[in-house]
Chains A and B, each alone.
Chain A
Amino acid sequence: MEDRNRKRCWFAVLMMTAIWTPLIAQTPGATSSDPRIKFKDGARYLRDLSTALQIPRESICKELGQYDCYTDAFRIVLGGVEPYGNAIVEPLETASLTTPIALDRVALRACTERVAEDVKNPTEAVLFLPGPPSKKWKQTTAVRMYDKLLQRDARKDEINRLLDFYDTVAAEGRPAAETARDWTVLGCFSVASSLESVFY
């Protein structure tokens, strides 16, 4: 199973290559000729996720159940500094090889935590709302993902893409309730780890 997933990763990169190449040349819209964006370092990223997902900052992401993902584990990798212990007084100039992996891990953990909380307390659900996964339920959830995580309204085509992704998750053939839960976690993950969420 592990091997299959690794191969899937390679395949995804191949697909990505095929997708991005024409887009890089053709994406319409106003392209900045002098793009100046910043990487949202781990402290800011987790603070934003904490606000968006309504999980206290201190419990939103714990490695091994006890180490804060940013403060203890991935501080430098996620663009922070540690002047006292490690004499690192400036953030890394560029993202390191492990930065996107650590960021994916943080996003997945936070989204998983949010949905788990929603399952436990459906009346106070933030993302994973109670109810059968009807089309309306999916649309509402997709809108909430954009609203919470990117703090903007989703366009119709953006909602439709997330709904298409629901079908991808459903193709696994698992019970509807599990599919809905997994889709909510992974949709949240996709939005939370998107370029728009990671940079500002």
Chain B
Amino acid sequence: MNSSWSRRKFLERSLSAGGALMAAGLGQGAFAQTASDPRFLIVLSGTGGASIVDSFLAVRESESVTPKEVNAYPDSLVQSIGNLPFRAIDFSSERIGAIPASFTANQSNFVKKHGQDMMVVTHTGTSVNHRVAEQRSVNGNAAWKGRTLQEAVALQYGQGHPIPNVHLVNGTGFTERGTDDHLPSYAYGEHVSVPNLWPLSLDGHKGVDGAPSRELFEKARAFRNQQFDPRSDFYAVFKKSDRVRRWLELRGDPLCGVEAQDLITKLMVFPDSEKMPLAAHGLRGSELGEKVRSAFPRYEIDPLESQAALAFLLLRYGVAVTVTLGAEGGAVFKPGVTLKESGLGKGGMINTPIAFDFSHQAHRETQALMWDRTLSVADRLITLLKGEEFRSGQSYWDRSMIYIATEFGRTRRRPEGAMSFGSGHDLNNGSLIISPMANGGKVLGRVDPNTILTYGFDPQTGRPEPGRHMTEAEIYSGIAQAMGVDLSGSGLPDMRAMRSSA
């Protein structure tokens, strides 16, 4: 693993030198839980309601007593794959509701390829408000002091990583800060709004044309930090400000940690080009750039692919232990697509407006297209992570989990026998988790074929339990436990059924 600096070592040295950072209040978060070998959490958001009964728990019309009234699929569209318990919808359509955009979507290939690492868990949420439900999907409805799964993972494994928790998708509840204000500052998410330019914010000097040498620049920083600011009247007056304290903290240890890794280069997805003239400014693209660009060739035009490319680099280079990415709310079209009389053309629409939530207008088409898109990105990330050795023959994927987080399910009724219809928000749903650390190849819980509503399972054995509904806190706990997060004192339930050792 490429993580050459150690926060702990540095602080030990600081303190032994009489620095007493902690006493000064500048070293907030200096002592995190001891990180063992890191595990990596990828939260891939299914914004808008990724419905589990339109994917891995789909119901065939032949199984339901009122198949034309509920969201049961024609038998021919529901695939079963070998002995795996998952179903899959392979679906084509000429339109997405009113949008004349044809597409072909496939879920079965993903199940065939990754079924052994897939775990589907049913649950019933507590909110059908997008923002609130998004938050609860990652904090378990404030299951553990309000800290998010990403924060919990960063706290557990983030020590020694320059930016442990990176949020690549913005403006969602999946990437909102949790409400536990007592975590070390590095555990909170770092927002990346422009993945292609963000690496430039990881070095204060490299690529600044005509600037004095790096050596002199560091001397200027030292002068500012040691002479200029400490003796200023401004500091004398405002030294008790939390903002000043945090600024001084960030300007020290974390800044060195980030710059020491040359992340401005390692995380640069773009190659040298007219659009990104790196070489002309003394910069270059990442050594793994070609690999990620080939996996995510739409990185320039598709925000999700751009996020995924950077997400892989963040994990691979040991920068982060958790990344959150996902489709954003805007429509994304294939480059060069124009609206003709015949429509947008096949595959012209890459991302529906408002993502999965376009199900309000066109439920099945949206679910099919967006699941296909989400699974495709997950597949490529898994493939990349499997191809990189972490240590001793273990790949990065062996230590990773992809949690497809979503707000809620969708309503189950449909106009008599309709193939194209709109749906609302419904608390009842389920989630897909993919990881060698999860109880792979399993569906925990089941779906009632008459109501198309899911029901829960025994947390220890995983046995389906009709009438039981898994809570947000239980799912949170199961994910955290599978990730190896120390939940001592949290009071969260043991969800043994969700772990690979179950």
Contacts and interface: CB of A to CB of B under 8 A. Distances in A.
Given A87-B329, A95-B243, A31 B236 contact: yes
B326 to A, nearest CB: 12
Given A19-B230, A196-B232, A100 B251 contact: yes
Contacts of B208: 105, 108-109, 112
A199 B243 contact: yes
A4 to B, nearest CB: 7
B226 to A, nearest CB: 5
Interface string A61-93: 001111100001111110000100111110011
Q: Which of A63, A182, A195 has the most CB of B within 10 A?
A: A195
B215 A5 contact: yes
B341 interface: no
B20 interface: yes
Contacts of B19: 14, 17-18, 21
B215 A190 contact: no
Range of interface residues on A (Cβ < 8 Å): 35 or more
A86 B21 contact: no
Interface string B237-249: 1111101101110
Contact of A101 (B209, B238, B239, B259): B259
A15 B222 contact: yes
A137 B170 CA distance: 49
B216 A186 contact: yes
Interface stretch (A32-40, A43-51, A52-60, A126-134): A32-40
Q: Which of B219, B220, B225, B241 has the most CB of A within 10 A?
A: B220
B473 to A, nearest CB: 25
A182 B219 CA distance: 11
Given A18-B18, A65-B281, A37 B258 contact: no
A64 B202 contact: no
A101 B204 contact: yes
Contacts of B262: 2
A65 B277 contact: yes
B231 interface: yes
Contact of B233 (A29, A168, A185): A29
A88 B170 contact: yes
B217 interface: yes
Contacts of B201: 73-74, 77, 98, 101-102, 105
Contacts of A38: 243
B210 A116 contact: yes
B243 A190 contact: no
B230 A194 contact: no
B13 A9 contact: no
Nearest to A107: B204
Contacts of A102: 200-201, 204
B370 to A, nearest CB: 18
A89 B173 CA distance: 13
Nearest to A30: B237
A102 B191 CA distance: 13
B332 interface: no
A12 B222 contact: yes
A16 B231 CA distance: 12
A195 B17 contact: no
Contacts of B278: 64
Interface in B304-318: none
A23 B230 contact: yes
B170 A17 contact: no
A191 to B, nearest CB: 7
A112 B209 contact: yes
A24 B246 contact: no
A4 B277 contact: no
B15 to A, nearest CB: 9
B389 interface: no
B287 interface: no
A18 B171 CA distance: 40
B300 to A, nearest CB: 14
B132 interface: no
A146 B319 CA distance: 38
Q: Which of B219, B230, B246 has the most CB of A within 10 A?
A: B219
Contacts of B235: 23, 27, 195
Contacts of B220: 165, 186-187, 189-190
A190 to B, nearest CB: 4
A90 to B, nearest CB: 10
A6 B256 CA distance: 7
Nearest to B20: A21
A182 B163 contact: no
A169 B216 contact: yes
A194 B224 CA distance: 7
A63 to B, nearest CB: 5
Contacts of A29: 233, 236-237
Given A65-B280, A116-B210, A182-B216, A10 B191 contact: no
A108 B205 contact: yes
A82 B192 CA distance: 12
Interface in A128-183: 157, 161, 164-165, 168-169, 172, 181-182
A116 B211 CA distance: 9
Interface of A: 1-2, 4-6, 8-10, 12-21, 23-24, 27-33, 35-39, 63-67, 72-77, 82, 85-89, 92-102, 104-105, 108-109, 112-113, 116, 157, 161, 164-165, 168-169, 172, 181-182, 185-187, 189-191, 193-196, 198-199
Interface of B: 10, 13-14, 17-21, 23-26, 162-163, 170-172, 177, 185-186, 190-191, 193-194, 197-198, 200-205, 207-241, 243-244, 246-248, 250-256, 258-260, 262, 276-278, 280-281, 283, 328-330
11 contacts: A17-B14, A27-B230, A29-B237, A31-B240, A38-B243, A73-B197, A87-B171, A87-B328, A100-B247, A101-B203, A195-B238
